[in-house]
Amino acid sequence: MSVNGTPLLEVENLVTHFPVPRGVVGAMSGKPKRVVRAVDGVSFALREGEMLALVGESGSGKTTTAQTILRLVKPESGTVRFEGEDISSVSGRRLRALRHRVQLIFQDPYESLDPRFRVQATIEEPLLVHGEGGRRAEREERVRDALTRAGLTPPELYLDRYPHELSGGQRQRVAIAASLVLDPKLLVADEPVSMLDVSIRAGILALLDDLRRGGLAILMITHDLSTVAHFADRIAVMYLGRIVEEGPAREVIAEPRHPYTRALVSVVPRRDPRAAADAQILRGETPNPVAIPPGCRFHPRCPIAIPECKTIDPELRAPAGARAGHLAACIRA
Amino acid sequence: MSAPVLEVQGLHVWFELERGGELHAVQGVDFSLQPGERFGLVGESGCGKTTTILALMGLLPPSASVAGRVLLDGEDLLARGEETVSPHRWTDIAMVFQGAMNAFNPVKRIGDQIAEPMKLHGVSDGRAARQHVGELLERVGIPATRTSSFPHEFSGGMRQRAAIAMALACEPKVLLADEPTTALDVMVQAQILQLLVELADDFDLTLVLVTHDLPIVAQVCPRAAVMYAGEIVEIGMTDTLYHDPRHPYARLLFAATPDLSGDSEVVSIPGTPPRLDREIAGCPFAPRCDRTFAPCGTVKPRLLTTGPGHAAACHLNDPALKAAS
């Protein structure tokens, strides 16, 4: 936790829209402008040394939320405060300074590394881009440091290698080292292990866990609830651009309050064949975020919807008997 | 037990490498399947699981050479290569390829694409084929009225259902599904897995589910084989594989898989699988194993029966070797 107790990252009522292309004919014939409401009112906070998992299916808005925080896309409205400063509309030098403190790890370590760059150059690149690290010797020291923090030890063994000479797990560690070299406060990890073989995933997740313990805040974008159960402190479940349930990861997964989370948890395949759960398979797929249903956005697929759900857009609130910090956006929770 | 519908005996596949030499991708795989059985073939990338089922379909590239027998109702599909496989491909044994949902021709109607194999194999044509396509789509949970839709008008889940319908067009006995739910959302994955189970149950279809995802196999397949470095290292009831694994790789693979309960530590398996372009001395898993002893580095373990219908390729199961060490 930071000194004054304010969270490192505070997202409030974030809204991000994308226009739906109408085409020339559509625009000329006066076809109405339509937007994809990818993020439609998202609020959450993240503290130092905390791992928050943003979970949802495709179209839930989890990736757009992350991109908005990284200012890769501009929000329609709402605020994103980083270390107390509103970054939702900063630009130029201040945006560069932000990029310094917030780093991103991509899903695919086979594509995120430049195949022509040796490990040394890959990790040094962010320092050069940001004009940091001073003299060459100092930069080399920081590169070695980052490799060590990413678990690639001794660093001398890796410095001169090319990506194709590394395994998938080692590549992802190099990508993590490149994100650590600027000493960021927040790491956004978009499905960091989904492209890796099962046998090496745990190593990468344990590394992220170590970094979190060291004070780094981690926002993990994932669809994998089992991984969340093991590694995340808190979880926020997204559906159609909103967080529908949020709270301590283990508690939300063990006692989900929102009917969507309940269904989602119930269909996760368990590794024990005897642990066959009472799967609640929802029909259909997440609807198009161009046409978000009125009232509760989940009501057309909800197994426990009542007539009020068609009109009331529920807010996140603490369900009866839930522990502190556990919130659900359901009038029946 | 009735007669097996499919028996794989001593299957080997080699790929000729451009830079010379050979890659021994499948190194003597044996298993047999009962009619209507759901069987899992599980392992990590490069273990040979996809190559194995491509060999069953006779769909390996020209750079591959194959040895062994694949008996479909007693007839060896590999006996004379294409000549013996082609009469059975799609009509008796069919496959849903990895990424099949994205392999539809974008400018042709779904119904016409599903009808293609029927025409090709003379199963049905014209109006009969159209009607059959409608029935097939209904069978996989898509309204028959959607036959004239284009692929882009379908969601990912519907395209995967259509890909399954296409594989079923000629009413095969055996369906091989390669990672059929990878890249799908959790809820859609559950829908597709439920569909595959229903199809197997309702039509006595034998299902081979190929995946890297152990929990999917645990929930869908009563029996499974774990592959490593081109071999089956353990085969048997999935329940036994989880609760009483007899090969360290099978045990560690489960331990490396996170579970919703979140209650046990997730481990990683150190090291990487061996290269398959050279002879492996001893057990291929030995360099990564946590239970090695004297013979593991030099003697190659064979699949030994460890219980009824269960076998594992690990020296720990050989009392004579264990006693000697």
Give the count of domains, chain A. Answer: 1
CB-based contact B259 A226, cutoff 8 Å: yes
Question: Does B194 share its domain with B253?
Answer: yes
Provide the pLDDT for residue A109. 81
Is there a domain that residue A256 lies in? yes
Is there a domain that residue B281 lies in? no
Interface of A with B in 234-263 (CB under 8 A): 249-250, 253, 263
Is there a domain that residue A4 lies in? no
Global pTM?
Answer: 0.93
| CB of B244 less than 8 A from some CB of A | no
Mutate which: A170, A194, A199, vs B, most B CBs within 10 A = A199
Question: Does B158 share its domain with B30?
Answer: no
| CB of B216 less than 8 A from some CB of A | yes
Is there a domain that residue A279 lies in? yes
Is there a domain that residue B213 lies in? yes
Question: Does B177 share its domain with B262?
Answer: yes
Q: What is the chain B residue with the closest CA to A264?
A: B187
Exposed/middle/buried for A324, CB within 10 Å: 0-12, 13-18, 19+?
A: exposed
Is there a domain that residue B108 lies in? yes
Is there a domain that residue B159 lies in? yes
CB-based contact B239 A273, cutoff 8 Å: yes
| CB of A268 less than 8 A from some CB of B | yes
Provide the pLDDT for residue A306. 97
What would the two tokens of residue B126 be?
């014209």
Question: Does B219 share its domain with B151?
Answer: no
Provide the pLDDT for residue A5. 65
B233 vs B241: CA distance, rounded Å? 11
Question: Does B61 share its domain with B155?
Answer: no
CB-nearest to A57 from B186, B194, B213 is B186
CB-based contact A229 B254, cutoff 8 Å: no
CB-based contact A57 B185, cutoff 8 Å: yes
CB-based contact A198 B190, cutoff 8 Å: no
Provide the pLDDT for residue B1. 65
CB-nearest to A270 from B188, B190, B260 is B260
Tokens 């962010």 — which residue? A126
Question: Does B147 share its domain with B163?
Answer: yes
Provide the pLDDT for residue A1. 41
CA A89 distance to own-chain centroid? 20
Is there a domain that residue A333 lies in? no
Give the count of domains, chain B. Answer: 2
The parts of chain A modelled with pLDDT lower than 70 are 1-5
CATH number of the domain that A269 lies in? Answer: 3.40.50.300
Q: What is the chain A residue with the closest CA to B249?
A: A199
Question: Which stretches does DSSP call E strand in chain B?
Answer: 6-16, 22-33, 38-42, 64-72, 75-76, 93-96, 174-178, 206-211, 223-228, 231-237, 304-307, 310-312
Is there a domain that residue A2 lies in? no
Question: Does B260 share its domain with B120?
Answer: no
| CB of A274 less than 8 A from some CB of B | yes
Is there a domain that residue B150 lies in? yes
Is there a domain that residue B181 lies in? yes
CB-nearest to B259 from A199, A264, A270 is A270
Exposed/middle/buried for A136, CB within 10 Å: 0-12, 13-18, 19+?
A: exposed
| CB of A73 less than 8 A from some CB of B | no
Question: Does B201 share its domain with B83?
Answer: yes
CATH number of the domain that B241 lies in? Answer: 3.40.50.300
Question: Does B116 share its domain with B255?
Answer: no
Can you list the pairs that B236-242 forms with residues at least 24 positions away whose Cβ atoms lie under 8 Å? B236/B306, B236/B307, B236/B309, B236/B310, B236/B311, B236/B312, B237/B309, B237/B310, B238/A273, B238/B40, B239/A273, B239/A274, B240/B307, B240/B310, B242/A271, B242/A272, B242/A273, B242/B218
Kindly report the nearest CA distance between residue A214 and chain B, in angstroms.
20
Question: Does B143 share its domain with B178?
Answer: no
Question: Does B60 share its domain with B180?
Answer: yes
Is there a domain that residue B273 lies in? no
Judging contacts by C-beta atoms under 8 Å, the chain A residues touching residue B155 are: 285
CB-based contact B256 A57, cutoff 8 Å: no
The parts of chain B modelled with pLDDT lower than 70 are 1, 325
User: Quick check: A171 and A156 in contact, CB under 8 A?
Assistant: no
Judging contacts by C-beta atoms under 8 Å, the chain B residues touching residue A226 are: 215, 257-260, 262
Provide the pLDDT for residue A237. 98
Q: What is the chain A residue with the closest CA to B192?
A: A281
ipTM rounded to 2 decimals? 0.91
Tens of pLDDT, residue by residue over A98-140, are 888 999 998 888 888 999 999 999 999 999 988 887 889 999 9
Judging contacts by C-beta atoms under 8 Å, the chain B residues touching residue A57 are: 185-188
Tens of pLDDT, residue by residue over A285-303, are 888 888 899 999 999 999 9
Q: Which domain holds residue B128?
A: 103-171
Interface of A with B in 198-227 (CB under 8 A): 198-203, 205-206, 223-227
Question: Does B87 share its domain with B109?
Answer: no
A215 vs A186: CA distance, rounded Å? 9
Q: Which domain holds residue A106?
A: 9-22+32-328
Is there a domain that residue B227 lies in? yes
